[in-house]
Structure 1
Amino acid sequence: MSEQFSVEPVTEHQFVVRATIEGGVVESWFRADPEVIEELGLDDVDEAEIVKQTAVFLAQHQPVEDFPPMLDLVDVMASYDDYADRIRGQLRSS
């Protein structure tokens, strides 16, 4: 995986994530619902870092160019059984 993700806050709990791949830029909006952050037990972690690590996680499961234009962490958690454990592990090791 060679994607480099940049995360930019837009509004409260919403971020634009950009990845440069093969000379182009892919952009998706992510929403980090506070209830999901709490459910993940990551209240003390910067939301932007959670979003960035979520993008890294998703890139391990699908091509970045296939990311939907808008993602909500609650949908990621519902779609991937291993998301909660993997995102906690990624954040502890970063």
Structure 2
Amino acid sequence: MATQQVQVEWVSEHDYLVSVPNGEDEVLIRLRSEAGTLSDLRLGELEEPRLVQAIMAYLLARQDVEDLPQELDLEDIVAAYDDFAESVRAAVAAGGAG
């Protein structure tokens, strides 16, 4: 799947609303995390909006946007994908998004 341009809007601490284009429409997804998860994954040092874009790029490379739930917790993503943290760290370090 091609990387889609996502828009990230801050809601509150570690809580974002992500808009993903889908044809003529857009899909809204709420992405949340606990600060401890970011720290445990060594992702806490990254600028959060950039991190959210990298997380979404990672997910969209593996699933269609229609298949993603409307609410995502970073903890659930980590549990579902063994290579998640390593892949996202590598993508951000390389200047990519996933």
Shift of 1:42: 2.0
Whether the aligned pair in 2 keeps the contact of 1:7 and 1:15 (CA below 8 Å) is yes
Whether the aligned pair in 2 keeps the contact of 1:9 and 1:15 (CA below 8 Å) is yes
Q: Which amino acid aligns with 2:49?
A: A
Where in structure 1 are there 5+ consecutive unaligned residues? none
Whether the aligned pair in 1 keeps the contact of 2:3 and 2:61 (CA below 8 Å) is no
TM-score, with structure 1 as normaliser: 0.93
User: 1:8-53 deviations in whole A, cap 9, x for unaligned?
Assistant: 0011110001111211100100002211110111222112211111
Aligned to 1:15: 16
Where in structure 2 are there 5+ consecutive unaligned residues? none
Shift of 1:84: 1.0
Distance 1:90 1:27, change over 3 A: same
Distance 1:6 1:83, change over 3 A: same
Q: Which amino acid aligns with 2:91?
A: Q
Whether the aligned pair in 2 keeps the contact of 1:32 and 1:47 (CA below 8 Å) is no
- After the TM superposition, which segments of 4 or more aligned residues of structure 1 sit over 6 Å from their partners? none
How many residues are paired up? 94
TM-score, with structure 2 as normaliser: 0.90
Give the Cα separation in 2 of the matches to 1:75 and 1:15. Answer: 16
User: Among the aligned pairs, what percent are the same residue?
Assistant: 31
Give the Cα separation in 2 of the matches to 1:37 and 1:48. Answer: 13
Whether the aligned pair in 2 keeps the contact of 1:53 and 1:91 (CA below 8 Å) is yes
Aligned to 1:40: 41
